[in-house]
Amino acid sequence: MWHLNKIMFSTSLMMGTLIAISSYSWMGMWIGLEINLLSFIPLIKSKNNIFSSEAALKYFIVQAIASTILLFSIILLSLISMYLIEFKSPLTMILNSSLLLKMGSAPFHFWFPEVMEGLTWSSSLTLLTWQKIAPMILFIYLNKNIMFISIIIISCMLISGIMGQNQLSLRKIMAYSSINHIGWMIASSLMSESIWTFYFIIYSIISINIIMMFKTLNIFYFKQMIISSTKNTSLKLFLILNFLSLGGLPPFLGFFPKWLTIQAMTEKNMLTLATLMIILTLMTLYFYMQLTFTSTTLSTSLIIYNLNNLESKFLILSSNLITLLSLIILTLIFNYM
């Protein structure tokens, strides 16, 4: 049961995002981002988690630095836009970088896995999904240097693929997975806002499914995942399929937004970047497959939690079934549109 303060801060968190994305001025957008930041800090704090205070402090410091850079670049842009046009491009790049730091994109990702490690699953889900909306939409509004954005996209793919290997913490695996998806989202936002919207919604649905299972089983590490999947065959299957869907493997739903992005990039003759993205994403898919195959082949006599609650079991099974069948449904819809 949620306390009144949690409801209040969650409401102001949503309000902050909506103010930021619907504001007419950069100052209004900055104020929206600040409301969002200050509302998320109390939600991070948890009595059951000893690392939540550390995570809250790390998150606050990084976001405050990003907000300062954002405000600084906005003021400078407004001052020099009339007189010194040649400085406009570097300042726009700094403005882009501050938003990339806010969303946890590589190479500004250093804080993201560390903060994720100190969060509960509910806070992790908020950080992975809702907290990306405002910086991502503001990033879409800006003029972008294609070379700079290409470097950001490739670094997202490389860092997430390399750093995600041999991780034992499920929260860190989800964090590096998110960095990979940020790269794809940035590429989709270059193509079309509607493709980005599709990508973000589908990524959020898959993340909700996976985190809902982790929260129900109360697991945080890879070893616990092996133990918990020993007795629950259906849950084991859905975890595997969801991870493969998150990696963008056809014929799962996670492949659909990547398919749209690759098609749009091919039409705009961005073949080199699209090819590099596909190849580098295979590294992320590899550690997903490593994770899922190991959890199925290894078994143990211990069990930490048995999913006997019919209500939660029905919710998990039904939401997963809908998600995993959605690619077929969407393909049929798009064929007849």
- CA angle (39, 44, 45) in 5-degree steps: 110
pLDDT of residue 312: 59
pLDDT of residue 229: 58
Of 5-9, 283-287, 305-309, 327-331, the one with minimum mean pLDDT is: 305-309
Give the mean pLDDT of 133-161.
Answer: 92
Give the mean pLDDT of 281-307.
Answer: 70
pLDDT of residue 16: 95
Query: What are phi and psi for residue 169, nearest 5 degrees?
Result: -85, 125
Helix segments in the chain, DSSP class H: 4-22, 26-44, 52-80, 88-103, 112-117, 121-128, 130-141, 146-163, 170-191, 193-217, 222-228, 233-246, 255-267, 271-297, 310-336
Query: 303: pLDDT confidence band, cut at 50, 70 and 90?
Result: very low
How many residues are given for the chain?
A: 337
pLDDT of residue 302: 45
Query: 40: pLDDT confidence band, cut at 50, 70 and 90?
Result: very high
Q: Mean of the per-residue pLDDT values for the chain?
A: 85
Checking if the pLDDT of 152 tops 50, the result is: yes
The amino acid at residue 200 is: F
Rounded Cα–Cα distance for residues 200 and 251 (Å): 19
Q: Which domain holds residue 82?
A: 4-336
Closest by CA to 170, choosing from 219, 129, 240, 126, is 219
Bond from prior residue into 107 cis (ω within 30 degrees of 0): yes
Give the mean pLDDT of 215-240.
Answer: 76
pLDDT of residue 301: 47
DSSP class of residue 169 equals B
pLDDT tens sequence across 259-279: 999 999 999 999 999 999 999
Give the mean pLDDT of 48-61.
Answer: 88
Query: 240: pLDDT confidence band, cut at 50, 70 and 90?
Result: confident
| Total tally of structural domains belonging to the chain | 1
Percent of the chain past pLDDT 90, that is, above it, reads 51
Query: 250: pLDDT confidence band, cut at 50, 70 and 90?
Result: confident
Q: How far is CA 140 from the centre of its chain?
A: 16
Checking if the pLDDT of 243 tops 80, the result is: yes
CB 223 within 8 A of CB 217: no
